[in-house]
Amino acid sequence: MNKSNLIVIALLMSVAMNLLIAGVFIGKKRGGPGEPPPMAWMAEELSPDTRRKVRRQMREQFPEVRPLREEMRTAQRAVREAVAAETFDPRALASALKYSRDVAARYQALIHKNLLEISADLPKDQRVALARAALHRGQKEKRPPRAPSTVR
């Protein structure tokens, strides 16, 4: 292999790596497979046909939900930072907690609106299954609280 062939191969490998990295970042921004649609876990209790329909509706709602999810993460981070600050500032924590409550209320209102839209097209037995999954979600997944030093 001559020197020009090696340069072409190196150039092609560099372009391929750049495209791969760009694809990963674009996929994350567009809500790729790493981020399930909101409430996707509720569809597990539904029949396969209804589950596909509901998940499609959830994916359609995702662009509206994604910004609030991001804002919730930001609010939670602010609370963790206020709690873990070297010098405790009660006002900073109170402000972070208020912001977290406000964002959570807006997120919950949007999720409820979307749940109403999804439920409108379901037969009674599937609406009941969806509601049962939504109401019992927290009961299955009780986790002990994490100490502030481990939540960063």
pTM of the model: 0.58
77 against 108, higher pLDDT: 77
So what's the pLDDT on residue 143? 46
- Pick from 119, 131, 114: nearest CA to 50: 119
Cβ-proximal residues to 59 (8 Å cutoff; 6+ apart), any chain: 37
Say yes or no to pLDDT of 41 above 50.
yes
The span from the CA of 39 to the CA of 115, in Å, is 9
Taking only the tens place, the pLDDT of each residue in 47-89 is 888 888 878 887 888 888 889 989 999 999 999 999 999 999 9
For the chain, state the CA radius of gyration.
Answer: 22
Residue by residue, DSSP assigns 28-67 as HHTT-TTSPPTTGGGGGGS-HHHHHHHHHHHHHHHHHHHH
The span from the CA of 12 to the CA of 108, in Å, is 48
Question: Dihedral sign, CA of 31, 36, 38, 43?
Answer: positive
The mean per-residue pLDDT over the stretch 109-126 comes to: 85
